[in-house]
Structure 1
């Protein structure tokens, strides 16, 4: 289950390319200078562990999809089952989980919102640690335990990495959850998951603005910014 980020990007060229492209986009020379002034240059560089790697060329197709499901208490179970179907549809039975930057998956544990605190307890039980910056390699039958965690981390804790990716082991698909619980999907190579296919699988393709389907006013309960 546990795997280093380096092992993934060295053995999976498309995964490595996707992470490297994002890191190149996020790397900020001005911010690096600020870290240097504080004597923390290496801390900044360590986040960008793939920024100097080579990238490959391939076709991609992007979409945002969601589910017509408003009960937040059962959402991660339903979502996990639907994601399992999605990976199976493109012939993947294993998944790699890693963030765009090498950052701690444990964010602000001072936020005691119950679902978030429980998610951190689950993450600690899995890793046996209170800090973890590497990755996971799982089979699709293990998806739910990670969706249960990452849904709440992304939803309630801005201190965690903004993008925590689920990559298909066959490198045909990548996705991440946003704070609204929607799936931002990238298909790699030939498109199999057309709008028609996704609709037939029970997904809604989101063309307009995203919104929170679990609240009446759009506010996300439990979301705190750690200043």
Structure 2
């Protein structure tokens, strides 16, 4: 696990910068207050367009408490097969990872407690590099916050350091995947091979 500066990430990873720029464009409203628009830190970047393919993947489960571990174990198998050793975790705009750090809800409070073991300041608006060694812990943290904390950044993106794919965990606990390999590596068949379902079914609603 390593802390990264967002602007340094945008400079070094051009496809990632384009990905975040695209999401920010979808939400940017110049009529909003400056305190909000200033968080759109990739909106003015000059970026290229890249071919993408998007699909959803879900780990079927009947136990929400075990769901994050089931997801991370299957992701680890996928990433090992395609030689992905680390990912960059970055919110779509410059928002605090600790968006509800004072929450008294047990699961949310525990997730922030675990995140604070890596970021003791309990405030952080940049990016995080996550290795496969740390994947289980960070998937559990982000899954909990994405599915239970309504203040947590909705699109907190996991981006392959080799810039071949990205995904985020939605409110249902499912994966929304963007492939940058023109269908040659990160494919539906790869995820099916590792027992993912290809839908966005809200199984815990």
- Which residue of structure 1 aligns with residue 127 of structure 2? 135
| Equivalent position SS for 1:205 | coil
Bigger Cα displacement from structure 2, 50-59 vs 97-106? 50-59
Q: Provide the secondary structure at the position in 2 that maps to 1:127.
A: coil
Give the corresponding residue for 1:150. Answer: 142
Trace 1:53-64 onto structure 2 (pairs within 5 A). Answer: 53-64=45-56
Q: Could you report, residue by residue, the CA deviation over 1:109-156 in whole angstroms, capped at 9, with x for unpaired residues?
A: 343221111001111121011211011112122111111111111111
Distance 1:195 1:2 in 2: 31
- 5+ long unaligned stretches in structure 2: none
* TM-score, normalization by structure 2: 0.93
Please show how residues 1-227 of structure 1 align to structure 2 within 5 Å: 1-31=2-32, 35=33, 41=34, 43-191=35-183, 192-206=185-199, 210-211=201-202, 213-214=203-204, 218=205
Whether the 8 Å contact between 1:2 and 1:135 is mirrored in structure 2 is yes
Q: What is the root-mean-square deviation in Å for CA atoms of aligned residues?
A: 1.5
- Cα contact 2:29–2:37 (8 A) shared by 1: no
1:202 offset after TM fit, Å? 0.6
Q: Is the 8 A contact 2:165 2:180 kept in 1?
A: yes
The size of the alignment, in residue pairs, is: 203
Distance 1:194 1:49, change over 3 A: closer
Question: Which of the two has higher C-alpha Rg?
Answer: 1
Tell me the TM-score normalized by structure 1.
Answer: 0.84
Q: Alpha-carbon deviations, 1:9-35, whole Å to 9, x = none?
A: 10000001111111122110222xxx2
Instruction: State the distance in 2 between where 1:176 and 1:196 align.
Output: 19
